[in-house]
Amino acid sequence: MDLQLENKVVLVTGGSKGIGEGIVRSFAAEKATVVIVDRSSGETLCDELNAAGANVHWIQADLTDVDQCEEAVKKLLQDHGKLDVLVNNAGLNDSVSLASGVEKFAQSLKNNLTHYYAMAHFALDALKSSQGVIINIGSKVAETGQGGTSGYAASKGGSNALTREWAVELAPFGVRSNAVIPAEVMTPLYESWVATLENPEETLAGIRNSIPLGKRMTNKEELADMVVFLASPRSSHTTGQIVYVDGGYTHLDRKCTLR
């Protein structure tokens, strides 16, 4: 299937590793021009993909700094002249709990939600001009809770709400807004969390067994391919949707997930 993304300009926040890296790779495979905006270095990934004929670039920015968000969008538009797709992906589950206090909670929102709004705000005119697409990467935590992660859960709940709010606000301009929600995906951050556990292999086996479809974790390529499809003209009448790519983990009956 031709997803009609050749020469589209795509911005992916947090695109240097993990789920973001998978998204960058999938867009690059569709011959889009991809711009990674990340605090972490994207040079190695850019070099690898560009050596294979892709068109991938990196802008360094600390997304918790609103001024740097604005400058990143300005630089992208200076360099490429347009923006067709914004993928808000960057963030981390920072374990800010109800006991952590208001200051840490506010910082968690800044780490995980404020830059979603900031990037969309600064990209707004460009997205209207291109009749573009916003894709927000969320988390099942907004739906299920997790315990000990109030900041992240609130941020991802806010991301889902903004997805639908923007779908309404931007529909008159032909701009679509959707979200893709992972549940259990092996990323560098996930690996770091597993390494802190007393019995990591036993815990992972239990997690895999609780995923109805295939008793396995979702891979980042499966998430990325959904993002790319929703960003493409082949899903041109899809907006305001929150799509779970999770093997049925979040919503299926517990009798399926606990056997």
Domains and CATH numbers, the chain: 9-185+219-251 (3.40.50.720)
CA torsion sign for 193, 108, 35, 84 is positive
In the annotation, is 244 catalytic?
A: no
Question: Hunting for tokens 């697409």 — which residue is that?
Answer: 133
Neighbours of 70 (CB within 10 A): 16
**Inter-CA distances, 22 with 61, 132, 162, 168, 185, Å:** 20, 21, 23, 29, 11
Tell me the CA end-to-end span of the chain in Å, nearest whole number: 37
76 burial level (CB within 10 Å; 0-12, 13-18, 19+): buried
Distance CA 259, CA 241 (A): 30
pLDDT, tens digit only, all 259 positions of the chain? 789 999 999 999 999 999 999 999 999 999 999 999 999 888 999 999 999 999 999 999 999 999 999 999 999 999 999 999 999 999 999 999 999 999 999 999 999 999 999 999 999 999 999 999 999 999 999 999 999 999 999 999 999 999 999 999 999 999 999 999 999 888 777 777 777 778 888 888 888 989 999 999 999 999 999 999 999 999 999 999 999 999 999 999 887 777 6
pTM of the model: 0.95
User: What's the CA gap between 25 and 13, in Å, rounded?
Assistant: 13
Q: What radius of gyration, in Å, describes the C-alpha atoms of the chain?
A: 18
Q: Of the residues 116, 117, 152, 249, which is catalytic?
A: 152
Alpha carbon distance 238, 134 (integer Å): 12
